[in-house]
Structure 1
Amino acid sequence: MTQLRIAERLGQDAFLAQTLHRDYRHVPGALSPAELGALVSFDIVNDFLAHHRLEPPRLRLARDGDTLAPHQYATAVTTRRSTVWQRVHPAELHQRLAEGASLVIDQLDHLHEPVGDLAAELESWLRAPVQVNLYASWTAAEGFGTHWDDHDVVVVQAEGAKRWRLFGPTRHMPLHRDIADPEPPPDEPVAELVMRPGDLLYLPRGWWHAVTADQDTHSLHLTCGITPPHTGARLLNWLADQLLASDTFRRDLPLHTDQATKTHLGAALSE
C-alpha cells in the first residue's frame, strides 16, 4: 500500500480543527514528481482506455456545463444475452476532446491500486467514504461551468495546470437530497489560484467554483469526493429506521378518534 501521508500534508489535526467543513486549503507542491508518477499519469489513462471496457456514464465527456450525449462518441451495442453497452469509438472520442470536451472517469479507485490506496488513506483519516474521479482536459474550454458539489473534495493536480476560481458557499452545508438550492454565486471570487503538479486543494461542500485549463497546457487531476456520513439528518433517518422495530411506532396515528386516545398515544411515543 502506497502511503502519501495526505493527512500530514493537509495539516493533520490543525486541518481537522480549523479547516474541515469551514474553509478551503491550497497546499502547493505537496506531492513529489515520483509520487505523482506512481499515482496517475496520462500514460496510465491511455492504458485504462485501451484495456478496460469503460462506458458511459462511468466514462463521460462534459463541455460548457453540459454532459455530452453518449451517441457523440459511442455506439450502443446489444450482446447475445440482450444486454446493452456503449462501445466508445476512439476517433470520435478524440475529436470531442479536441473540440473542448473534458474527459471524466468515475471511481478510478476501483481500477487502479495506487488511487485505491489514496482513497483508503483519506477514509481512514476522515472516517468517511471516499470516491476518486479523474478529470482530463486538453483545451481552455470549461467542462462544467461554475458549480458546487454536495460533498467535500480533495483535489490532486497530477499533470499540467488548471485555474480555480473559488466563490465560497451561498447555502451552508447543502446536501444531495435537500429542500432548497443554494443562491447563485457572487460575481467576484474570494480566491483565484492555479493548481500545478503536486498541488493539493481542499474544498468544503457547497463552495461554488469554476475550473479552466487556461495555462496553455493540458491538465490531469484527481478529485477525491468525501461523502458526508455524519449529518444530523442522517442520524434522524437512522433513528427512524430503528423505531420500526416498535409496535407503537408502526401503528397508524389515530386521526379519527377522541382526544383522550390521541393524548395517550402521544405519551407512549414520547417514552
Structure 2
Amino acid sequence: MLKSLIDNADEVLARWPEQPLRYHREPASFEHLLTLAEVNRLVDSECLAMRNLALIKDSSVVEKWMYADGEMPRKGSIRAHLDEGGTISVRSLERLVPSIADLHRSLQEETGYGVHINAYLTPAGHQGLKYHFDPYVTLILQLSGSKAWPVHEPFVENPVKEYASFHTVGFTTEQKRYLANTAPAQTFTLEPGDVLWLPRGYVHSPYAVGDEPSLHLTVAFKERTYHWVAEQLAREVLEQALVDPSMREWVQPIEITRDPSEAIRQMRAYLIGSLLKLDPAEAAQLIQRAALRPL
C-alpha cells in the first residue's frame, strides 16, 4: 500500500529516509480516500464528536469546551470556527472512513509501525500551527487546495513522544530567535496529488496559499526504535521471571534500606542471563507480534 503513496516504497522500507522528500501523484489520486466535499458534509451535518476533532487557531489548540456542551459540538460552532480562519483536524480517520481504515491497516502491516491518520482543513490564506516539530515521521497527502511547508533542520536528534517531544520541551529562547531571523532550509508548496515525507524532528510551519481552503491527510508513523525493541525483550524477561518462585521471594528490608548492592548484583546477573537464554527465533516472533498489535 505504501507504493500507492510514494515512488520508492521498497527502498524506504529497507532504509527509512532521514531527509524530507517530495513525491508527485495525479491530482485525483487520493479522492477515493477523502474529499473536501466529504469533510464539509461531516462538518455541516454536525455528526463529528468532539473526541474526533481538534480545533486550532493562532497556533494553539482551542479548548473544546468553547465549542461544545458534552460530547458533541454546539450547532454551527465548527463552521463558525472555520469561517473565522481557524483550522480543524479530524482525528483518527481510520475509525471513521472505511477507505482510510483499509489504508491504515495495510500500512501498519507493511511497516510494523504504529499508524494514525488525521485530516487538516485550513481556510484560504490562514495557518493552523506555526513552527513546531513532531516525534514521528509524517506523510503529508495534499487532497485539495495548496499548502506551503517551510522546513528547518531538527534542533533535537531523534525525538520521541516519551522524550524530547516538542509538546514537552518547546523551543529555547535562542531557537525562537533563530526561527524568527533565519530563512527555512527548504519550502515545499504542495498541490493536490503531492506527497511530502517529513522525518521526525524537522521544524515546520505550514500555511494555506491561494484562494481555496487546503485539505491534507497526515499519515503519522510511530517508528519502532531500538528502545522499543529493548522494552519488548525486557517485558518478556520480567514476565518469565514471575514464574520463578525465587523471583517472587521478598528482599530483606535491611537490604533495601541500607545496602542493596547484593540484591542488585544478583538481579543484574539474572537479567543478563535471562536475555542471553532467549531463543533468537522466539524473540524475533515476539517482536513481530508486538509490532502488529493494535494500538
Q: Please confirm whether the aligned pair reaches a TM-score higher than 0.5, indicating the same fold.
A: yes
* In structure 1, C-alpha distance between the alignment counterparts of 2:2 and 2:164, rounded to whole Å: 38
State which of 202, 205, 210 in structure 2 corresponds to 1:215: 210
Aligned-pair distance for 1:27? 1.0
Instruction: Give 1:141 shift.
Output: 2.4
Q: Structure 1 residue 238 and structure 2 residue 238: aligned?
A: no
Out of 12, 34, 38, the residue aligned to residue 40 of structure 1 is 34
Select which of 16, 24, 27 maps to 2:23. Answer: 27
CA positional deviation for 1:150: 1.2
Instruction: Give the structure with the higher percent helix.
Output: 2
Equivalence for 1:158: 143
Gaps of 5+ in 2: 274-295
- 1:13 and 2:10 are equivalent in the alignment: yes
**TM-score calculated relative to the size of structure 1:** 0.82
- For 1:75, the equivalent position in structure 2 comes to 69
8 Å CA contact 1:98, 1:139 repeated in 2: no
**Structure 2 SS opposite 1:170:** coil
Counterpart secondary structure, 1:239 = helix
Task: Give SS of 2:31's match.
Answer: helix
Alignment of 1:88-237 (within 5 A): 88-90=74-76, 92-178=77-163, 181=169, 184=175, 186=179, 187-228=182-223, 230-237=224-231
Distance 1:261 1:227 in 2: 37
Question: What code does the residue aligned with 1:23 have?
Answer: Q
- Indicate conservation of the 8 Å contact 2:114/2:221, yes or no: yes
Letter in 2 for 1:38: H
CA distance in 1 between counterparts of 2:106 and 2:260 reads 58
What amino acid is the match of 2:10? D
Contact kept in structure 1, 2:117 and 2:220, CA below 8 Å = yes
Report the residue type matching 2:121 in the other structure. Answer: A
What is the CA–CA distance in structure 2 between the aligned matches of 1:39 and 1:265, rounded to whole Å? 52
- More displaced, 216-225 or 255-264? 255-264
How far apart are the structure 2 equivalents of 1:258 and 1:59? Answer: 50
Alignment check: 8 A CA contact 2:19 2:198 kept: yes
Of 57, 62, 70, the residue aligned with 2:56 is 62
- TM-score, normalization by structure 2: 0.76
1:266, distance to aligned residue in structure 2 (A)? 4.7
Answering whether residue 73 of structure 2 is matched by residue 87 of structure 1, we say yes
SS of corresponding position for 2:153? strand
**What CA distance in whole angstroms lies between the structure 1 residues aligned with 2:209 and 2:33?**
24
Q: 1:109 to 1:252 in 2, by over 3 A?
A: same
Q: Percent sequence identity over matched residues?
A: 23
Say whether the 8 Å CA contact 1:55–1:88 is kept in structure 2. no
Alpha-carbon deviation of 1:44? 1.0
Moved more, 111-120 or 149-158: 111-120
Structure 2 distance, partners of 1:103, 1:160, is 15
Gaps of 5+ in 1: 77-84
Q: How far did residue 170 of structure 1 move? A: 1.4
Residue deviations 1:233-261 (CA, integer Å, cap 9, x gap) = 11222233223231466664944359777
2:153–2:185 contact (8 Å) kept in structure 1: yes
Note the C-alpha offset of 1:148.
0.8
Give secondary structure in 2 for the equivalent of 1:38: coil
Closer, same or farther in 2 for the Cα pair 1:239/1:46, shift >3 Å?
A: same
